């Protein structure tokens, strides 16, 4: 019985280490992307989600230090920003939707992600209290924030109507 318990413990620990390694690989990939993003042009995203840091947010989206009272969008394209955390279950369900939207709207809308744990200042600036929270930014006008996870079709509708301004004609 004792040998079985030790074997089971060793097996469970090995599972834990392998999941940490895959998570570390994901974070490493994200860190590589963040390094490129700080100087990246929005048109070079090639349909991929772009991870932002506080510094890259200020240069690509809005520099709230220079314009604290007024929204001045720095981007060339309308945008969607997914505020998330690695430990958040609903955020993990939204992530593949954001990846798909980045490909589908490539060249028309840029999809950003902000890790709220790593970028606490941004979370504070926008008053993020629940995650995921998604910000929709039209090219002209003020952004809108939507807390909570939604279905892919709901994100598409908001992108089409609010972000891109493709209003449906009502009869």
pLDDT tens digit string along 42-71? 445 688 999 999 999 999 999 999 999 999
Q: What is the Cα–Cα distance from 50 to 158, expressed in whole angstroms?
A: 20
Q: What is the pTM of this model?
A: 0.74
Phi-psi region of 107 (alpha: psi -120 to 50; beta: other; left: phi over 0): left
- Annotated active-site residue 20? The verdict is no
pLDDT for the residue numbered 83: 98
Instruction: Find the helix or strand (DSSP H, E) in which 135 lies.
Output: strand 133-137
Catalytic-labelled residue, pool 91, 101, 131, 137: 91
- Contact criterion met (CB below 8 Å) for 21 and 50: no
Catalytic-labelled residue, pool 37, 79, 80, 88: 88
Q: What is the gyration radius of the CA atoms in the chain, in angstroms?
A: 19
Residue 39 has a CB neighbour count (10 Å cut-off) of 10
pLDDT for the residue numbered 139: 94
State the architecture of 2-163 in CATH terms: 3-Layer(aba) Sandwich (3.40)
- Provide the pLDDT confidence category of residue 159 given band limits of 50, 70 and 90: very high
The percent of residues above 70 in pLDDT, for the chain, comes to: 71
- Annotated active-site residue 88? The verdict is yes
pLDDT of residue 35 exceeding 50: no
């Amino acid at each position: 019985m004792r040998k079985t318990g030790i074997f089971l413990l060793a097996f469970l620990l090995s599972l834990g280490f392998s999941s940490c390694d895959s998570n570390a690989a994901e974070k490493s990939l994200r860190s590589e992307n963040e390094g490129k993003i700080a100087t990246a042009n929005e048109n070079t995203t090639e349909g991929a989600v772009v991870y932002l840091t506080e510094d890259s947010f200020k240069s690509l989206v809005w520099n709230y230090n220079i314009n604290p009272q007024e929204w001045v969008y720095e981007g060339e394209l309308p945008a969607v920003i997914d505020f998330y955390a690695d430990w958040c279950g609903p955020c993990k369900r939204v992530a593949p939707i954001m990846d798909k939207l980045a490909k589908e709207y490539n060249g028309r809308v840029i999809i950003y992600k902000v890790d709220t744990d790593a970028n606490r200042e941004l979370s504070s600036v926008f008053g993020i209290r629940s995650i995921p929270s998604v910000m929709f930014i039209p090219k002209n006008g003020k952004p809108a924030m939507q807390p909570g996870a939604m279905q892919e079709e709901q994100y598409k509708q908001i992108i089409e109507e609010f972000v891109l301004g493709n209003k449906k004609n009502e009869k």
